[in-house]
Structure 1
Amino acid sequence: MSVKSLALTAGLLAALITPAWAETTKSITIEDAYARVSSPNAKVGAIFFEIENTRDVADRLIDAKSEVAARVELHTHKEAEGGVMQMLHVPEGFVIPAEGHHHLKRGGDHVMLMGLHQGLKDGDLVPLTLVFENAGEITLDVAVDLNRAPEAGAHGSHSHSADDHKGHKHD
């Protein structure tokens, strides 16, 4: 086989492989993303959104990164003794079922921003990179929306504020 034939074969193989990779990276869609803080000077904030997985296999959100905070973690709420809601880091991440959705919402799973480097105000954009086990990284700009009402069923009238995080260390 000549060098020219090898180059042509390699080019054809690359063209065949690329669509499969592109499909994988487009298998996850992020919808209705927004960020909240309790005040413009808050040191913590949260980001909420819906994840849609169009593939026929499950994926997992395993990490989140943003330059606006010293630490970014995946969190959830859990009822502790006495009915008090407790915030917990979820190091294993969140499963997004095959051909399914996973909602990150107030009073439930969310992305936690701890040690904000600056205050966030309504309309600001927060750069966020989500890391998925299969789909890889997805980067987006999330608008800060301080006027959005909590979703119905999100632990009643529970709202996400700095007081929710008194037990956390904020580096």
Structure 2
Amino acid sequence: MNRRTTALTAAVALAASLALTGCSSDGDKPELKVSGAFMPQPVMDMAGGFLTITNGSGAADKLTSVTSPISDDVTIHETKDQKMVEVKSFDIPANGELKLERGGNHIMFMELKTKPKQGDKVSIELHFEKSDPIKVDVPVEAANHNPQQH
């Protein structure tokens, strides 16, 4: 009887831990949405990219890289003391947002393979520490476009 109770208790404990693991992993997955994306029309062979990533969950994430067919050299930068500094990642806080905007944190596209014009769309893919990649078609706006000034 004792062996049977122990086996049953172990089975119930294992089933409960599997159920809890399944439930908590769904709750720990960030829910990311991208909005406001744009690229000012480049005037040289490099361009900036700007967008907002909103996290609607209680789990934080990180933007770790950006890729695009328009450039083999796409990096993420922060602006500190009016100087651009390449970074390895940007935090996306739980129930918060990451804003990439002119004069602040942004995406840099170096050595453009083609120069997109206003009205074009540039395909990018955002890569994260926890979340699946997100593909975004980024509209190309006028070189002086700045939604903060509107």
Same fold, TM-score > 0.5, yes or no: yes
- Match of residue 60, structure 1, among 59, 62, 65: 62
> CA offsets per residue over residues 104-150 of structure 1, 9 Å max, x none?
00011111100000111101110000001111200111000115236
TM-score between the two structures when normalised by the length of structure 1: 0.67
Aligned ranges 1:1-171 → 2 under 5 Å: 24=29, 27-39=31-43, 42-79=44-81, 85-91=82-88, 93-146=89-142, 148-149=145-146, 151=148
RMSD: 1.9
SS state at 1:151 partner:
helix
Residue 24 (structure 1) shift:
4.0
Instruction: Structure 2 unaligned segments of length 5 or more: list them.
Output: 1-21
Structure 2 distance, partners of 1:61, 1:126, is 19
Letter in 2 for 1:129: E
* 8 A contact 2:66–2:75 mirrored in 1: yes
Give the fraction of aligned pairs with identical amino acids, expressed as a percent: 31
Report the TM-score, using the length of structure 2 for normalisation: 0.76
Q: Distance in 2 between matches of 1:138 and 1:99?
A: 18
- Max radius of gyration: which structure? 2
Aligned length: 124
Aligned residue identity for 1:70? D
CA distance in 2 between partners of 1:77 and 1:37 (Å): 20
Divergent runs of 4+, >4 A:
none
